[in-house]
Structure 1
Amino acid sequence: MRKSKLESYEAILEALSEKPLEIDSLSYRLNGNCGIIKERLGFLVENRLVEKRLIGKKRLFAITERGEAVFRTLSLQKRLEKLKVTVRAISENPELVSTSPKTERNTR
């Protein structure tokens, strides 16, 4: 299944949060098409989430502070969504949660 634009942006931000990369390296890392990665990077640069850095002859892309903040927010949102699903499953099926003797002692 193809990634949505938002998923592509998030994957790029995640990769760049580790270290600045060239388009080719980013494309290889994300297993994506260079043209699409370049297009997505253009949007991220335009919105100041990513910046271009020229180091010698290399053109690297690096995440900005603003990009880090957006990436952290997207990651948090994903974790909260997973937590919501887990809590719903537990509330619908309380038998999924086993009580340990330690827990029972503390409730007396």
Structure 2
Amino acid sequence: MQKIQGESIREVSSLAYVSTATFLRFVQKIGFSGYSKFTTVIKFTLINQQQNAKEKLPFTVKQNDYREEYLKNIIEAVRVIKPAKLARVTAKLAEHPEVFSSQMVFLST
């Protein structure tokens, strides 16, 4: 990241031994609208890394925050799953009740 920070797309594509069009397609394939958005993310990633290095804070998440985010992900998955797929999942779980009961033992401890 430090090598390509502040470099033009031509310079970066040259370093990668690809054409600028190929590098731009790569950037778009990984989810950026263009090269400038890509470099902006790199810039702020480097800034955050430098700040964390100064503060000497490891990347950690509080357990409570982790649980809340995990629950949000589960709720979102249930919200968007199609009823037919949900019916198939519950049918499979019904075929193998030990999967559900072992999870309940784990959750209750």
| TM-score (normalizing by structure 1) | 0.29
Higher RCO (C-alpha 8 Å, min separation 6) = 1
Normalized per residue, the structure richer in helix is 2
Normalized per residue, the structure richer in strand is 1
Q: Which has more radius of gyration?
A: 2
| TM-score (normalizing by structure 2) | 0.29
